[in-house]
Amino acid sequence: MTKPLGAVAVNVDSSSTRRQNTVSTISRRTALVGASGLAAATAVGAPQGATAAQGARGAKPGMPKNIRMTWFGISNWHYQIGDIGILLDGAVGYPASTPNPEVVTKVRTALQKTGSIEYVLLGHLHGDHSVDTPEWVKQTGATLIGSAAACEEARAYGVPEHLLRPVKGGERFQLSRYVEMHVVKWVHSVSVGEVSDLDGGIETFGFVLKVQTPAKELTMFFSDSGAGGSELTKEHVVDGENRGAPLSNLGLAMKAAGLSTFEIWQPGPESRVVTQARVLVPTYQPKYLMPHHLGARGGFNLFGGLHYAFKPEEVPKLMSVLDDFDVPLVPPVNYFDAWVYDRNGLRSVDNARVKVSLGLPPEGPGPNPQGPNPRAGDLEGPDD
């Protein structure tokens, strides 16, 4: 598949005045919904894709109809949006200190049954997220979008320079005529009661995605770190440069994208996210919360299945926020669970062809038995 040419990044002036969006609230009830229970502008200033109203008048050449998303452990996601395939992180060989080409090939072959990979996004440079990232780029020829340090690591691994797009946060990428992405300088999580360093620790990013389809505009925000607490509102200084405060950075990205809401939120719950939820849910009114960053603790085995179940009762403070605003929690049950997000919302879809090819059951957990979450009792703290 031919990659869209000339995808560009546009830096948002980090000295811009940062504003918090006005908080608005809604009153709903939350329902827990499991994975198996959910029934080319390429230059600065180029025209954006069709608006939702324009799209409703009919499909245009190359316009996607939906986002198909597949979760395959920790914060590994594959998003297929028409002809564009996006991979997040892709740490399939974890725990390991070096890339595992054999496992990457095995998983890539399985994912290609339902899509492609033109872009690889890296939320942050950490073993349970980035260990296999350079190998994914080398095997697919995809463009890597990540920190300068991540790009340097990929360069040292032999990834060609033209495939590397180092970012700092605030960039806009037009991945195709109808797929727009904004990079958000985020922050890595710290333990409860701690505060992040002045520079925010490991350089971490989230991503705002806006997709034009014939029927509506699809919107998402995802990140691979569940930061919570004062680090969300603290401006972080990296190499003498003010990279802004995470929540303000998200507000700037939403403004640059022309958005006031995003419908799907994918945060990493193995670190605390309730503080994020208390701000993001009433402000941006997501319709679904899809927790991830699951499986890294206690013995990650991609082909043995998720070794514990995600239980809402282990995150009561988060569930209270979701209940207040009637945001369904949509957790995965096993690796390579898949969903489609389109004009009708979010629904789980059969992914047996991919799962069976990797030795996983067509649906449900397994093949290995599940035990307790190794971090049970430590997902939320008294300071949350």
Rounded to whole angstroms, what are the CA distances from 232 to 147, 168, 240?
19, 17, 19
Task: At 232, give phi and psi (nearest 5°).
Answer: -75, -25
Asked whether residue 167 is domain-assigned, the answer is yes
For the chain, give the number of residues.
384
Mean pLDDT of 304-329: 97
DSSP state of 116: -
Mean pLDDT of 263-291: 94
d(CA 139, CA 134): 9
d(CA 77, CA 267): 12
> What is the tens place of the pLDDT at every residue in 9-29?
444 333 333 333 322 222 233
pLDDT at 350 over 60: yes
d(CA 34, CA 230): 31
d(CA 84, CA 118): 6
Cross-strand bridge partners of residue 294:
74
The radius of gyration of the chain from alpha carbons, rounded to an integer in Å, stands at 19
Q: Which of the two residues, 376 and 5, has the higher pLDDT score?
A: 376
The percentage of residues in the chain with a pLDDT greater than 70, rounded to a whole number, is: 85
> What is the tens place of the pLDDT at every residue in 147-168?
999 999 999 999 999 999 999 9
Give 76-90 as a DSSP string. -EEEEETTEEEEE--
Task: At 130, give phi and psi (nearest 5°).
Answer: -110, 0
> What is the tens place of the pLDDT at every residue in 188-228?
988 877 888 999 999 999 999 999 999 999 999 999 998 88
d(CA 277, CA 324): 11
Q: Quick one: pLDDT at residue 38?
A: 52
> What is the tens place of the pLDDT at every residue in 24-50?
222 233 344 455 445 422 222 333 333
Q: Quick one: pLDDT at residue 96?
A: 94
Count of domains forming the chain: 1
> What is the tens place of the pLDDT at every residue in 35-89?
544 542 222 233 333 344 444 457 788 899 999 999 999 999 999 999 999 999 9
Q: Quick one: pLDDT at residue 196?
A: 87
pLDDT at 284 over 80: yes
Task: At 333, give phi and psi (nearest 5°).
Answer: -100, -40
Asked whether residue 220 is domain-assigned, the answer is yes
d(CA 297, CA 290): 19
Domain harbouring 148, CATH code: 3.60.15.10
CA 121 to chain centre: 9
d(CA 40, CA 180): 10
Query: What SS3 class is residue 150?
Result: helix
Asked whether residue 45 is domain-assigned, the answer is no
Instruction: State the amino acid at position 12 in one-letter form.
Output: V
Asked whether residue 35 is domain-assigned, the answer is no
Asked whether residue 188 is domain-assigned, the answer is yes
CA 333 to chain centre: 18
Residue 381: pLDDT band with limits 50, 70, 90:
confident
Asked whether residue 371 is domain-assigned, the answer is no
Question: 57: Cβ–Cβ under 8 A, 6 or more apart, which residues?
Answer: none
Rounded to whole angstroms, what are the CA distances from 135 to 100, 121, 156, 225?
8, 13, 12, 22
Q: Quick one: pLDDT at residue 382?
A: 87
Q: Quick one: pLDDT at residue 209?
A: 98
CB atoms closer than 10 angstroms to residue 234: 18
Q: Quick one: pLDDT at residue 384?
A: 87
For the sheet containing 179-185, what is the strand order?
172-176, 179-185, 205-212, 217-223, 264-266, 288-289
d(CA 12, CA 244): 11
Instruction: State the alpha helices, DSSP H only, in the chain.
Output: 52-55, 101-111, 127-130, 133-140, 148-157, 246-257, 274-284, 316-324, 352-357
Q: Answer whether the bond into residue 267 is a cis peptide, omega within 30°.
A: no
Residue 370: pLDDT band with limits 50, 70, 90:
very high
Query: What SS3 class is residue 276?
Result: helix
Q: Quick one: pLDDT at residue 195?
A: 85
**By residue range, what is the domain housing residue 206?**
52-357
Q: Quick one: pLDDT at residue 57?
A: 53
- How does the average pLDDT of the chain come out, rounded? 87
Asked whether residue 196 is domain-assigned, the answer is yes
> What is the tens place of the pLDDT at every residue in 218-272?
999 999 998 888 889 999 999 999 999 999 999 999 999 999 999 999 998 887 8
Asked whether residue 73 is domain-assigned, the answer is yes
